[in-house]
Amino acid sequence: MNDPVLDEHPHHQAREVRNRARWRRLMRVMRAVLLGAIVGAYTLGALSERVIPEDENDLLPVPWEALIIGGAFTLASLPTAWSIVGRVLIPVPAFYIFLTVLLGKDPPLPFYVAFVVAGLYSAILTALSRDLAERPTRPKLGSSHHRRAAH
């Protein structure tokens, strides 16, 4: 029996299935973008909570830092193989950013507590993006992987 996806003239239902799959992928991308925006907003607000000047001597302007963390989270949450690039970018910057927040807010957290909490923030963001980026084990319909698997 012909594979409806591999068939040159696929059955009309195959097109519908592919459209649905495309819609699902679009929704997952939108979700990643929305969550990236939430992480960015959260980081921006957190950085603005700092009141101790020594903790505000950042390398980049505050909005840029928030944008980078939010962008990295979006990238890391995309359901693609290369989302790992985003996940590489999250842990260390996120750790440092939240460490400065926790040490720079009023009143500051003790260093060891701030260290642990910043580590948790960094770990949660990384793990969450990993979970969001999880893809189905079966190859995408119509993709080269799918064709190879079908043959």
Partner 1 sequence: MLLNGSTRLAAPWRSLWERLKRRSVRDNEVSLIVASALISVAIGLGVIVLQVLVQRLHEINFGLPRYERLSTHGAPDWWRVLLVPCVGGLLSAGAVMLIRRWRPREIVDAIEANALFGGKMSLTDSINLAFLTVIASGFGASVGLEAAYTQLGSGMASRFGQILRVRRGDLRTLVGCGAAAGIAAAFNAPLAGAFYAFELVIGNYSPAVLAPISMAALTSTLVVRALYGEESIFALNAQVTIHDMDFALFALLGVLAAIIAIATMTGVTRIERFLRRQALPRWVGPTIGGLVVGLIATIYPRVLGSGHGALQLVLEGSLPWSILLGLIAAKGVASAVSVGAGFRGGLFSSSLLLGAVFGGAAVVVLQAGLTHAGLGAIELDRVAYMLVGMGAVAAAVVGAPLTMIFLVLELTGSFPAALGVMVGVIIAALVVRHTFGYSFATWRFHVRGVPIRGGFDIGWIEDLSVGKLMQRDAPTAPLGVTVVEFRKRFPLGGTPQVFLVDATGRYAGIVNTADAYNPDLDRNPEQAIDALGAAADQFLLPEQNVRTALRRFSGVETETLAVVSDPKALRVVGFMTEGDALRRYSHELERARAEEVGEHSLYGPA
Rounded CA Rg of the chain: 21
Q: Distances from the Cα of 36 to the Cαs of 67, 68, 122, in angstroms?
A: 9, 10, 14
User: Could you say whether residue 43 binds partner 1 (CB under 8 A)?
Assistant: yes
Tokens of 127: 């793990």
Is 127 an interacting residue with respect to partner 1 (CB under 8 A)? no
Task: State which of positions 12-31 bind partner 1 (CB under 8 A).
Answer: none
Q: Which of 102, 103, 125, 133 binds partner 1 (CB under 8 A)?
A: 102
42 sits near partner 1 (criterion: CB under 8 A): yes
Give me the residue label for tokens 């991308």.
29
Find the binder of partner 1 among 52, 60, 120, 149 (CB under 8 A).
120
Q: Does 107 bind partner 1 (CB under 8 A)?
A: yes
Q: Is the CB of 26 or the CB of 88 nearer to partner 1?
A: 26
Query: What's the rounded Cα separation, in Å, for the pair 9 and 57?
Result: 62
